[in-house]
Amino acid sequence: MSIRTNKKILLSMGISLSVIVLAVVLLIFGTPSRAMPFIGLGLIVAGLLMFVISLHTATKPETELVADERVARINEKADKTAFWPVLVSITIRFWSDRAWSRGIELLYLYNAALFAGIISWSVLRWHYSKKGDVIR
């Protein structure tokens, strides 16, 4: 098992280890509160996941990392098409809040947009890869 020394891979490994160290320091020297252990443990898990993904990427051959033209076109088409469901979901939630004074916070609006974007992009990417031909 040989590990490639690509600058981006080494940078992501360094960032992930820095996040882990920052989380440990936060847990040890942070002000005690009820949310602090969850924040620290969340940062540690995120850093470990980032490190494992970087290590997995570093052990793959260079030819497996480059996406072919078909995959790139499918991703581009899914990106362009997934924008509209996200825009519609944000618009509906915003105007329903304005019309009925529901008091929707910005965090909930952000979470809804993020959820709609992830789901629509995944479904569209699956659809375009099953469809076979991707027309721009």
Mean pLDDT in residue range 97-101:
82
How wide is the angle at C-alpha 131 spanned by C-alphas 125 and 132, nearest 5°? 105
pLDDT of 136 reads 53
Spatial separation of the C-alpha atoms in residues 121 and 123, rounded to whole Å: 6
Mean pLDDT in residue range 26-31:
75
Mean pLDDT (the chain, rounded)? 80
Which tens digit of pLDDT belongs to each residue from 66-91? 667 888 888 888 888 889 888 888 88
Query: What percent of the chain clears pLDDT 90, i.e. is strictly above it?
Result: 1
Which residue's structure tokens are 């992009």?
121
